[in-house]
Every structure is written in structure tokens, then in C-alpha cells.
Amino acid sequence: MQKTGAIGVFDSGVGGLSVLRHIRDVLPNEKLIYVADSGHVPYGEKSREYIEARSHLLTHFLRQQGADAIVIACNTASAAAVTSLRSQFSIPIIAMEPAVKPAVTASRNGIVGVLATTGTLASARFAALLERYAGDGEIITQGCPGLVEQVEKGELNSAYTRALIEKYTTPLLARGVDTIILGCTHYPFLASVIADVVSSNIALVDTGAAVARQLQKRMQAELPARVSGMAAAHFFTSGDEVHASRIMSILWGENVAVQRLPQAFL
């Protein structure tokens, strides 16, 4: 018998909507369930154990909602929890990772910058990624405290947001980067401001589209008896649902009603 399922996606907050948009483009007939863990944002400053525990709890919730494939739409959570999640759940679990390989390949001078949370940059997963793909390129990393919070507040174009972007990109530009990896799923929502600050000569690399394609490939290979659910998107948050509805409607591009997670998952 064919089984109808759903795709579950979670992030520390609203940033994973940048990935969800790509998933909707690639798999337009799927039922999507998105959880913004905004009651615990940002993940980047929290311990690996804390992030891992939240990731397991949210995955259990998404499974209860009928998700038979999970996307960890957060670089920090991917680094902290993907190994343990894959050991516990026998479904496709797709993780994020900064696009070091394509950025190094695309770079003209081999000098690549990475904007990411401190949690991502400190992870063993990211260190292994650099070792595997950096090659002869020079990778310059930059932690960006505060940027996630600006996106969570919906302040995409404020003077303070721009000042933070200038602060974090100045050291990269001084080192001569010609390519910058957006190493957090919140950052694509700031791409237009980042591009304006660093100039059009700097290429910005986002991994959302590649993650959506990988999800499609894994589902085709591992869930052959599955059929697409009714095309729809459902949104949940561990934060304030009124605020989340306002911000996520802006980022998603249409009005959405966000539900608060049940008490057991807060």
C-alpha cells in the first residue's frame, strides 16, 4: 500500500524558511511542516548537548505530525545533532553544512569567507568540512553574534542590522575574499543588504537549493512506496505565535497562521 507522508523541517527560529522555500520549489506537491524553535533561539551560543536535546524533541514532534523525512534547516543543529538523530530515526534526515566545496570551486582567487554562528564554526563537523574541501584555498571564518536575532525580529534592513553586517564583513574584505558563504539559514534573508555592503563583485553562496535537491534524491531512493501529501504548509513555534505569524508571513511571502507547540515540546 502506498503511504502518504510529509516533510518535517526545523530550525532554531525563522531562518530555515529560506530552505523551506527551496523545498517547496523542488517538491511543490508535498505537505510541509515547519517548526521555528524561537523560544530557544539562538542556538549558536548554546552547548552541543542542549542543541542535541532540542533537535531530538522537535524531531519527535514532527514524526508525531506524520513527517517521514526530516530536514535540519540549521547549520548549528546539523553539526550538533545529525549523527545522533540518524542513529535513532530510520528515515531520511537531511543536514545543512556551509557550502565550502562549491565556494572554493567558484572562487576566482581562492580566498573564501564564511559568515556563520559561533556554534557552527566551533563544531568538529565544520572543522572536518574545511579539512576535506578547502584544498589550496584560503578559508576565513567570521562569527556573527546578533544577526540571527535581527532576522528573528524582522529587522532585515535596519541601521543596526547593516552596522552588524559591515562589522562582520570588513575583516573578510580586508583579507581579499571574492566569495562569501552564508553559513546560517537566517542569512539569506539578509543577502540583499550583505550584497550592498560588500559590493556586487563578491559572490554570495547559499546552500538551500542543494539541500532541497538532496532531500528529493534521498526520498526517491529511500521512500519508493510513498506518495506526495496534499500540497500545504503548516507552521509551529516554541516562541510567541502572534509575533511568529507576523515575521514568518513576511519571510514566507504570504500570510500564515503559526501554531504554538504543545507544552511537552516547549
Residues catalogued as catalytic: 74, 184
CA 183, CA 99: separation in Å to the nearest integer?
A: 8
| CA dist., res. 234 & res. 24, Å (int) | 12
Lookup result for grid cell 534573508: 189
CA torsion 192-213-20-159 (nearest 10°) is: -20
C-alpha cell at 154: 524582522
Q: Are strands 67-72 and 232-237 parallel, antiparallel or unpaired?
A: unpaired
Gap between the Cα atoms of 72 and 174, Å rounded = 33
CB atoms within 10 A of CB 90: 8
